[in-house]
Structure 1
Amino acid sequence: MKLALDHLVVAAPDLDAGTDYVAGVLGIAPQGGGAHAAMGTHNRVLGLFGGIYLEVIAIDPAAAAPARPRWFGLDTEAVQQRLRDGPFLLHWAARVERPADLGRWQAQYPERIAPVIPMSRGSLHWRITVPADGSLPAWAGEAGSAGDGALPSLIQWDVAAHPGASLPRQDLALRRLGARHPRAELLRQGLAWLGADHLVAVEQDDGAPELIAEIETAQGIRTLR
């Protein structure tokens, strides 16, 4: 089974900072979005060519603390430390298309796929994989694990049409999603098993893990990282 690239996740200390960061790089500001009550977060979104979209996500200061750790590692010290330096491209999600079913797939391989939780925002309903501790997904091997935002969360939409199709069309197209990681080979193994290795180019780099999106704009190629 081959997965599809669903959306990119830009984490921000607050939505205004994240919106300004994306607008400064791409020339167009994310808008709309809303709150995720179960996670205590909120977002703004920006459509890209082909139905892919980008979301800016931040902890919602007006929301009650969730009953569980927030998704995408937002409660972890590692992510919070990076956010002190400003917004950054944290993560991405890969879509499971029907007739495959994300819940059944996870039940078959619970040691490899994180628990699936139902989510909603307004009229949108979806299921997404989130580790119980809220951490970013990781692929385990004999020498450790690899993830750090480069291994995708898995998502399946329970709506008639993908939400990216309803976003305003912009002159923005994702040309390349790349990742640099000190355990690149282990990361490639996980991506291949998931059926997502065609969606992200992984490079060996002994520095800090990094996710990079090259996006074509009216002003040329711009890079989110």
Structure 2
Amino acid sequence: MTAPPLQLDHLVIAARTLEEGASFVAAKLGVQTSEGGAHPLMRTHNRLLNLWGGAYLEVIAIDPTAANTDSSRPLLRPRLFALDDPAFLKRLETGPQLVHWVARVERPKVLTRWQAQYPERIASVVAMSRGANSWNLTVPHDGSFPAWQGSGDGVLPSLIQWDTTRHPGASLPETGIALKSLTGFHPRAHVLLEQMAWLGASHLMNVEVTEGAPVLVAQFELPDGSIVTMGETSETIEAAAQAARQAELAAAKPARKRAKSRKPEDVIETADIAETAADSSPDEAVQQDDGQQDER
């Protein structure tokens, strides 16, 4: 039996706090996220939002109530999605961001077996749980994003396989929000495209080259038909900044006064007056002078 291709499972928005992430989504999409739960192993927690078509949006943050030490596991593994990386946490200081996406592995393919066959291609599989839900998820040992030949940066997907036949996203309130497009931008796009093809995930996302930092850009269609975009490429940011600078320069220039053009008939009339004055005879001038003397 041929295994079905990978499916989009969910998008990941990371934030410094869960409240900050939930407010970001509400401001962008106009809908409140639903309560998710805690991930004891990773010491994180999340909130969720249903997307049309079976996928969902996850807001994830470090759980401040989770213990950072555990007597039964003295060496806790790093949190997933780079949430223990100082550079990544610094990035989140500018606000919540769309940072990653997760592809679903459907049975009969078994994720643990697939990873064991190709450990150089697929990160280690971690058994996770949240409430009554349990699943297997690929998470590199250092908690970073999945990578191939040193490149990933959130653009390559993590892989997930749920232990239940009913997808958890089906239990979330319907929002009518649909993911219209998902595009990854990366300086080494060709490397990521190769790995995407090997995984069987090329149909899920476009990958394009950028000269700037890697980024995900997602477009959502709201129930009223409007389109909302999350994520910006460095090229888009620079173009917007350049447009703003040009607008400021244009506003600072003094308005030039345009000289009022003279109508053709005005020019003709002026010329006639000058010609009449020039044609006056000396005799007329003498007669005028004699007349003035008689009056005296």
TM-score for the superposition, normalised by structure 1: 0.96
Q: Distance in 2 between matches of 1:213 and 1:109?
A: 30
**Residue 150 (structure 1) aligns with:** 155
TM-fit CA distance, 1:218: 2.7
Question: SS of 2:53's equivalent?
Answer: helix
Name the counterpart of 2:116: 107
Report the structure, 1 or 2, having the larger strand content: 1
The reply on whether 1:18 has 2:21 as its aligned counterpart is yes
**Per the alignment, in what secondary structure is the counterpart of residue 139 of structure 1?**
coil
How far the C-alpha of 1:14 sits from its partner, in A, is 0.2
Aligned length: 221
Aligned to 2:137: 128
Structure 1 ranges of 4+ moved more than 6 A:
none
SS in 1 for 2:81: helix
Let me know the Cα RMSD of the aligned residues: 1.0
TM-score scaled to structure 2, two decimals? 0.73
Q: Residues 73-222 of structure 1 correspond to what in structure 2 (within 5 A)?
A: 73-140=82-149, 145-219=150-224, 220-222=226-228
| Alignment match, 1:44 | 47
- Over residues 190-218 of structure 1, what are the superposed CA-to-partner deviations in whole Å (9 max), with x where a residue is unaligned? 11111111111111001011101111013
Q: 1:46-68: CA deviations, max 9, x gaps?
A: 00001100010000011012611
% identical aligned pairs: 58
| Aligned counterparts of 1:9 and 1:203: Cα–Cα separation in 2 | 20
SS in 1 for 2:101: strand
* Pick aligned residue for 1:224 from 230, 242, 247: 230
Describe the superposition over 1:10-30 as per-residue Cα deviations: whole angstroms up to 9, x where unpaired. Answer: 000001110111111111121
How far 1:81 moved relative to its partner?
Answer: 1.5
Q: Which runs of 5+ in 1 are unaligned?
A: none
Higher helix share: 2
Q: Pick the aligned partner of 1:28 from 17, 28, 31.
A: 31
Segments of structure 2 that go 5 or more residues without pairing to the other structure are 70-75, 232-296
Larger Rg: 2
| Separation of aligned partners in 1, 2:101 and 2:10 | 6
Distance 1:163 1:208 in 2: 33
